[in-house]
Each structure stands twice: as C-alpha cells, then as structure tokens.
C-alpha cells in the first residue's frame, strides 16, 4: 500500500516488460514529462488566477503569497528543463508550490486549502494508471466535496457573514473565485488526463505488442544465427581438416606445402570473421549473465591459449591487488580479455630482447580495473581514437577483421564498464578495462 | 603394446568421419574405426554389441548437428543405456558449434568425457589415447 502510494506520488510509470525494453521506457518517460509540464503550467495559471481574485478582494499580502506560486512553478520548471532535476523528482517540486500556497491559510482557510490540495489532485489523476484510473476520479470527487465544504464554511467569517455587507461581499468573492478556479482546473485536468491517459494506454499496448513481436523475432534470429554459423563453419572446418591431412603427405613439393599453408591461413581468417560476427550478434542479443568467477584464472587461461605463439623471451606477469573472485558476465569478460591479450601478443615487437605483457588488477570505488600493458608496436596517435570503430584496421597487413576492439567496446558498454587505451608507437600500449563492481 | 582401441565416429557429414578416421590412424595405427552417419545407426551398433566386451566401442565421437536424431538426443538414449554397457567408454562431443550453450548442455550428461572443436587434431587424438590408457 505504502509502496503504491509512493509510486503514485513520484509518478513511477509502469512499463511493459519483456524483450528489449529500453525504447518503450524512454517513450513513456517522455509522455510523463509532457504531463509534468502541463501540471506545472496549470499550477502557475491557478496561482495567478487566485492572486488576481484575492487582489480584487483587497487583501494585498494574501495575493502576494498566493502569487508566489508562479515564480515557484517557473523555478521548478527551469530546474527541470536544464536537467538539474529529474522528471521523477519534478513532482516533489510541485509540492513546494502547494505548500507555499498553504501559507494563505493564515488569512483565508478556503483558498489556502484549495491551493494545497490542488497539486495533489492533479498528481493523483496523472499518477493513476490503467484500471486504477477510476479510483483517481473517486478521490478527486471526495476532495472536491471537502474543499467545497471548507470554502462554504469559512469559519473565521461565518458568524458575521450575513449581517455585515462588506464581509458578505468578501465571502461571495472568495467563494466564487475558489469555485470557478476549481471547476476550470478540474475540467482541464479531466480533459487532460482522459485524453493523454488514453493515449498513454494505447502506446503501452502498442509497445507491449511490439515487444512481443521483437522477442519472437529475436528467438527466430537466434535460431537463424545458430544454423548459419554451423552451416558456414562446417564445410570450412572440413576443408581445414583435409588441408592438414594433405600437409601430412610425404614428399610434398615445397611449393605445394607453401600453398597448403596459405590456404590454411585463409581458412583461419574466414573462420575468425564468422566467429567475430557471431560474437557481435551474441553480445547485442543476449542478456547479461552475472555469476561469480575467478578473474585471475580467466586471464591465465587466455594467455595459455596464446602461449604457443611466443618464444621463451616473452614474459607474462599478473599483479593482483584485489580479490580474484568477482561477479560479472564471465563469458563477455573472457571475450574482451581474449581480444586484448591476443592483440598484445599479435603486435609484440620481435626485434627486442624483452617483449612482455604485464596485467595489473586493482579495485577502485566502482570498478575492478584491469590494465594490460605491453611493449609492442604501439598505435599512432592519429589511430588511437579509431581503433574501437567498427571494421577499422590499424595495420596494413591483411590480418584481422577490424571487429575485435569494436566488440570489446560494445561489451564493456553493455556491462556498464569502460575500455580505453594509451599508446606510443614503438614503445607499447596500455589498455584499461573497467568492470563495474556493483550491479543495479 | 596396449590393446586395440575401437572408435565409433558418428557424423552425418561423411567428410568429417573421413578426416577424423585418417587423423586417428595417423596417431594410432592399430585403431579399429567404425563410421556411421546417423544416431540411429550408432544406437544399432551399441545395442548389437552390448553383450560383447570385445566388439563394444571404447571411444565415441558424436556430432551435435545431425538430422532426425541430433547428438543430444543420442546422448540421452546412451545415458539410459549406460548401465548395460559391458565396459566403460569415453564419449567426446565433436562439433563445429561455437555456442557456449551447447558446451554447457554437453556437460550436463555424466557420460560425456569431453568437448572438441572440429576438426580433431593429432594432439587431441594423442590426449584421448593417453586418457583412455590411464583410465
């Protein structure tokens, strides 16, 4: 019950779940923002109308206080517009208007109470969603009765109300003003909520259907990617197998041996391309899967897979300055590490005596930070900003697909982490990977 | 010399059965290799030799993507038949699948010994033989 009330007051819109929901959420929030704008606009008009009525009634201070709702609304609106206040907090600001207007209670209970309840009525109407909207109307009806009652039984002046001409005039003016404002506003709110709420509901239904369609398309795509990758790779791998058999034949002419090697190399490249396309599609389609795993083991395993590419001069070191057991998406982290360590090995300098990779892992407030430093070829400054781009290839040799680092960045973005790079040509490269510690 | 090992290769693509048998022969010259192209043929071989320790295969290579009965369905059947096997056997999933889900699914079958990416290499065959000898 309390949670419901809180949701109601903070305009926490429910969003249909399932499938990639990001888009629908943002559209709903946008709609919510439009409602907020209308709400604050209404409050401003309301305050203005009231202050004018009070002014006519010749009570200066009351008018001034009541009028303060206008700048308050404007300030709130500005704060929200410049992005200082989030949409969900915006509603709280509208309370300020209400509370300030409540000060008019000192001189006139009727207008004060009306001013106080007004934002709440609007908020209630807007916040009530779907089936519950009728309760919003019930609540409004009850509030109208209470307000009308309070207005008509203005305690302070009622005993002398019908005997003193001046007071009677004041009472009539007060009542007419309050009633007119209330009616106008309520009509406006009803129209507003009816129209926009319906629109909002329609959108939700449409979005929900869209989500259904998308998740269906997604699972079909899943199946499709599975089939295609298998059907593409199967013949490729059979050619690879046959090449390795051919290579084992005795007395091969040197030229044929060379051709076989080149063919095998081409097959590997094609296979890598298929793997990376698959990796990309997997990262964009599949949800993040958090699980505990040992980060050191993951790093070591990845280096072990590369060990056969380097000679004994090559040194590999890991410095761990935080716990080794962490919680993240091990599959995705593995893909990133494979790419980064693979690059460090691939672009090592073969003309120096002490090629190395040093991996340092530390823990900051929000991230596990992995620095992978090497003394390899390095990347020129001009290229450093481009290496994370899709299909960008830093080397002129035919190696690589230009997808590796792009996928790394996509993965780290998806995980809410970061990946960056510092490099000096001829000296080496340091890649920094930041894995978020906390998950919302 | 250790006793002759019997291999049963199960793959709908003939070329892989051919490659794998060639590679096995290059490493293990005494190998007895039986190639079948479907799960049902494989089940037939298994069931027909269930009473003969002599003819029962030692090592199975199973492909995942096969028409009619795929590798996993075959594994389910084999898992049920396992108590009737006359001797322990080693089952390797040999596949071109890059999907982690396939690897994880294979792990759920206690009878599966390993997961190998196609094509099986010489070194992998050597490892398989060493493992079998030490088992």
- Chain A residues whose CB is inside 8 A of the B100 CB are 331
A240 vs B: CB within 8 A: yes
User: So what's the pLDDT on residue A294?
Assistant: 93
Q: How confident is the model at residue A183 (pLDDT cuts 50, 70, 90)?
A: low
Cα angle A69-A71-A74, degrees, rounded to a multiple of 5: 105
Q: Considering only CB atoms, which chain B residues are within 8 Å of A240?
A: 119
pLDDT of A211: 76
In angstroms, the CA A75 to CA A69 distance is: 10
> Which pLDDT value is given to residue A85?
47
- Which of A34-48, A213-227, A310-324 has the highest average model confidence (pLDDT)? A310-324
Say which residue, A16 or A379, is predicted with more confidence: A379
Q: Which of A28-42, A271-285, B41-55, B107-121 has the lowest mean pLDDT?
A: A28-42
ipTM > 0.85?
no
Residue A47's pLDDT band, with cuts at 50, 70 and 90, is low
Whole-Å CA distances, A84 to A11, A53, A343, B28 = 18, 34, 42, 73
Q: How confident is the model at residue A21 (pLDDT cuts 50, 70, 90)?
A: very low
Does the beta-carbon distance from B15 to A331 stay under 8 Å? no
**Residue A396 — pLDDT band, cuts 50, 70, 90?**
low
Which chain B residues contact residue A242 at CB under 8 A?
A: 15, 19
Whether chain B has a CB inside 8 Å of the CB on A275: the answer is: yes
CA distance A258 to B17: 26
Most confident of A141-145, A278-282, B36-40, B82-86: B36-40
Lowest mean pLDDT among A54-63, B77-86, B111-120: A54-63
What pLDDT band is residue A127 in, cutting at 50, 70 and 90? very low
pLDDT at A166: 61
End-to-end CA distance of chain A: 24
d(Cα A247, Cα A347) in Å, to the nearest integer?
28
pLDDT at B72 over 60: yes
Position A280 scores a pLDDT of 80
H helices of B1-135, in order, are: 14-27, 39-48, 71-81, 100-107, 122-134
Please tell me chain A's helix, strand, coil percentages from 3-state DSSP, rounded to the nearest 5. Answer: 65, 10, 25
- Taking the alpha carbons of B62, B68, B73, B77 in that order, is the dihedral positive or negative? negative
Percentage of residues in chain A with pLDDT exceeding 70?
51
Identify the residue with better confidence: A419 or A8.
A419
The per-residue pLDDT for A79 is 55
Nearest CA in chain A to B95: A234
**What average pLDDT does the segment A9-17 reach?**
38
User: Which residue segments constitute the domains of chain B, with CATH numbers given?
Assistant: 6-134 (3.40.50.2300)
Q: Which of A244, A270, A334 to mutate to test the interface with B (most CBs of B within 10 A)?
A: A244
Mean pLDDT of chain B, nearest integer = 90
Residue-wise DSSP of A274-336: HHHHHHHHHHHHSPP--EEEEHHHHHHHHHHHHGGGS-TT-EEEEEE-S-SEEEE-HHHHHHH
Report the pLDDT averaged over residues A285-292: 85
Does pLDDT of A197 surpass 70?
no
Enumerate the residues of chain A whose CB falls inside 8 A of the CB of residue B11: none
Measured between CA atoms, the residue of chain B closest to residue A275 is B98
Domain boundaries, chain A: 2-215, 216-285, 291-436
- What is the mean pLDDT of the segment spanning A186-205? 56
Confidence at A20, pLDDT banded by 50, 70, 90: very low
Classify strands B112-117 and B90-95 as parallel, antiparallel or unpaired: parallel
Per DSSP, helices labelled H in A157-253 are: 165-248
Q: How many CB atoms are located within 10 Å of the residue A332 CB?
A: 24
pLDDT single digits (tens) A347-360:
888 888 899 999 99
User: What pLDDT band is residue A26 in, cutting at 50, 70 and 90?
Assistant: very low
User: How many pairs of residues across A and B have Cβ atoms under 8 Å apart?
Assistant: 45
- When CB atoms are compared, the residue of A226, A234, A240 closest to B99 is A226
List the single residue in B16, B65, B97 with the smallest CB-CB distance to A238.
B16
Chain B residues with CB inside 8 Å of A331's CB? Answer: 100
Angstrom distance (rounded) from CA A253 to CA A264: 17
pLDDT of residue A336: 94
Is the distance from CB of B135 to CB of B76 less than 8 angstroms? no
* Contact check, Cβ <8 Å, B98/A278: yes
> Considering chain A, what percentage of its residues have pLDDT values greater than 90?
20
Among A7-21, A58-72, A244-258, B109-123, the range scoring the smallest mean pLDDT is: A7-21
Of B95 and A112, more confident: B95
Q: A59-64 long-range contacts, Cβ below 8 Å, gap at least 24?
A: A59/A107, A59/A108, A61/A107, A62/A104, A62/A107, A62/A108, A62/A111
Higher pLDDT, A87 or A293: A293
- Interface contact B96-A244, CB threshold 8 A: no
CA pair distance A320, A363, nearest whole angstrom: 9
What's the rounded mean pLDDT across residues A185-205?
56
Work out the burial of residue A32: count CB atoms within 10 Å of its CB; fewer than 13 is exposed, 13-18 middle, 19 or more buried: buried
Q: Find out whether A47 and A67 touch, Cβ atoms under 8 Å.
A: yes
pLDDT in the model for residue A230: 81
**pLDDT number for residue A341:** 94
Please check whether residue A308 touches B, CB under 8 A: no
pLDDT score of A44: 55
Residue B35 confidence (pLDDT):
95
Span of A273-282, A329-338, A422-431, B40-49 with lowest mean pLDDT: A273-282
What is the average pLDDT across A303-332? 89
Higher pLDDT among residues B123 and A31, named by residue:
B123
Residue B93's pLDDT is what? 95
Per CATH, the number for A291-436 is 3.30.565.10
Q: Which residue of A has its CA nearest to B117?
A: A237
Report the range of poorest mean pLDDT among A63-72, A140-149, B1-10, B36-45: A63-72
Residues of B with CB under 8 A from a CB of A: 13, 15-16, 19-20, 22-23, 26, 65, 96-100, 117-119, 121
Q: CB of A112 within 8 A of CB of A68? A: no
Q: How confident is the model at residue A181 (pLDDT cuts 50, 70, 90)?
A: low
Query: Are residues B26 and A248, on separate chains, in Cβ contact within 8 Å?
Result: yes
């Amino acid at each position: 019950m309390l949670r419901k009330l809180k949701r109601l007051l903070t305009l926490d819109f429910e969003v249909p779940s399932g499938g990639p929901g990001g888009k629908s959420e943002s559209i709903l929030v946008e709609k919510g923002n439009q409602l907020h704008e209308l709400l604050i606009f209404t409050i401003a008009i309301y305050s203005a109308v009231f202050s004018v009525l009070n002014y006519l009634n010749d009570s200066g201070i009351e008018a001034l206080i009541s009028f303060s709702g206008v700048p308050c609304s404007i300030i709130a609106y500005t704060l929200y517009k410049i992005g200082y206040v989030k949409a969900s907090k915006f509603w709280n600001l509208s309370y300020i208007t209400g509370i300030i207007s409540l000060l008019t209670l000192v001189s006139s209970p009727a207008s004060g109470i009306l001013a106080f309840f007004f934002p709440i009525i609007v908020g209630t109407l807007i916040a009530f969603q779907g089936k519950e909207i009728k309760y919003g109307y019930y609540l409004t009806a009850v509030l109208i009765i209470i307000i009308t009652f309070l207005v008509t039984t203005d305690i302070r002046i009622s005993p002398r109300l019908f005997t003193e001409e001046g007071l009677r005039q004041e009472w009539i003016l007060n009542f007419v003003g309050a009633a007119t404002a209330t009616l106008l506003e309520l009509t406006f709110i009803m129209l507003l909520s009816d129209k926009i709420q319906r629109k909002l509901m329609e959108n939700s239904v449409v979005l929900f259907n869209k989500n259904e369609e998308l998740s269906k398309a997604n699972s079909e795509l899943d199946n499709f990617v599975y089939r295609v990758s298998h059907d593409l790779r199967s013949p490729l791998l059979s050619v690879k197998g046959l090449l390795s058999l051919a290579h084992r034949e005795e007395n091969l002419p040197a030229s044929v041996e060379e051709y076989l090697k080149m063919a095998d190399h081409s097959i590997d490249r094609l296979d890598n391309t298929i793997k990376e396309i698959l990796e990309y599609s997997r990262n964009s389609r599949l949800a993040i899967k958090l699980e505990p795993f040992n980060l050191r083991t993951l790093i070591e395993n990845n280096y072990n897979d590369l060990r056969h590419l380097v000679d004994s001069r090559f040194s590999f070191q890991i410095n761990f300055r935080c716990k080794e057991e962490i919680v993240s998406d091990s599959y995705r982290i593995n893909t990133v590490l494979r790419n980064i360590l693979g690059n460090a090995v691939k672009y090592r300098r073969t003309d120096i005596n002490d090629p190395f990779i040093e991996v340092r892992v530390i823990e900051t407030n929000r991230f596990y930070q992995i620095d992978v430093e090497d003394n390899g070829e390095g990347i020129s400054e001009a290229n450093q900003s481009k290496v994370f781009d899709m299909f960008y290839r830093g080397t002129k040799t035919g190696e690589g697909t230009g997808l590796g680092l792009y996928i790394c960045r996509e993965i780290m973005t998806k995980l809410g982490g970061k990946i960056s790079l510092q490099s000096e040509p001829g000296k080496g490269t340091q890649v920094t990977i930041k894995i978020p510690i906390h998950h919302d | 010399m250790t006793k002759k090992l019997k291999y049963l290769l199960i793959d709908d693509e003939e070329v892989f059965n051919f490659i794998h048998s060639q590679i096995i022969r290059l490493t293990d010259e005494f190998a007895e290799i039986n190639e079948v192209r479907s799960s049902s043929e494989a089940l037939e071989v298994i069931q027909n030799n269930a009473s003969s320790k002599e003819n029962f295969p030692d090592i199975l290579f199973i492909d995942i993507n096969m028409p009619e009965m795929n590798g996993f369905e075959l594994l389910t059947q084999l898992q049920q038949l396992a108590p009737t096997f006359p001797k322990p056997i080693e089952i390797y999933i040999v596949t071109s699948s890059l999907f982690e889900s396939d690897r994880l699914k294979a792990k759920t079958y206690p009878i599966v010994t390993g997961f190998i990416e196609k094509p099986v290499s010489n070194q992998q065959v050597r490892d398989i033989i060493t493992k079998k000898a030490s088992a």
